[in-house]
Amino acid sequence: MENWHELGPFTVFDLETTGLIPIRDRIVEIGAVRVEQDGTWSRFTTLVNPGIAIPVRAQSVHGITDEMVANAPSFKDAAYQFLSFIEGSKLVSHNARFDLGFMQENLARIGLPLIKTGAYDSIQLIRKAFPRLPSYSLQSLRVTLHLPEVEGDPHRAMFDAELTMHAFSLAMKELYNLYPRMSNE
């Protein structure tokens, strides 16, 4: 099914953080790509001031420094914008347990409502559509699936969200080819 987006809208999102533990660490960047039922895309990206120093180890992964987030919005301000952007859409993330877990913990910390819809994990969908790939990391999928060029730097939220959207799109098309009956229900 070429028009998989008609099942949407879908929002693929990615986070960059100060570390790996949601109860201790904080979000420093949010990137999201939303595809509407008509196939049009829109993007949301913001740096986030975490209110704590970004460890050197985290900086070496995503390249986001304390100076870069010094004048960025707080998570609360960024969260209101993000929640508005995703409203009414189905969420998707590459390793949804990590990204959704971080988002939920940060929302709870500031007293905002949690996301009740959950999120599809693009890794699981891509694995089902393309079994036995050597790796399901975004950088490997970029090469293996011949994903389009994406502007920006790997391990930045917008770059990873857009790359995930391309991989998710291919997986959805493939799954509907593998299971055509499902697309007619």
Mean pLDDT of 48-74: 97
122-129 helix and 157-178 helix, angle to the nearest 10 degrees: 40
d(CA 62, CA 42): 23
pLDDT tens, 120-166? 999 999 999 999 999 999 999 999 999 999 999 989 999 999 999 99
16-20 contacts at long range (C-beta below 8 A, 24 or more positions apart):
16/58, 16/61, 16/62, 16/64, 16/155, 16/156, 16/157, 17/58, 17/102, 18/50, 18/52, 18/53, 18/54, 18/55, 18/58, 19/55, 19/57, 19/58, 20/98
The 10 Å Cβ neighbour count of residue 32 is: 26
- The full set of domain ranges for the chain reads 4-183
Residue 183 confidence (pLDDT)? 46
Write down the pTM of the prediction. Answer: 0.93
Active site residue 155: yes
Percent of residues in the chain assigned helix, strand, coil, to nearest 5? 45, 20, 40
| Both structure tokens of 22 | 């949601």
pLDDT tens, 6-43? 999 999 999 999 999 999 999 999 999 999 999 999 99
Residue 177 confidence (pLDDT)? 81
d(CA 17, CA 19): 5
Beta strands in the chain (DSSP E): 10-17, 27-35, 41-47, 90-93, 119-121
Given 94, 146, 155, 166, the catalytic residue:
155
Return the CATH number of the domain spanning residue range 4-183.
3.30.420.10
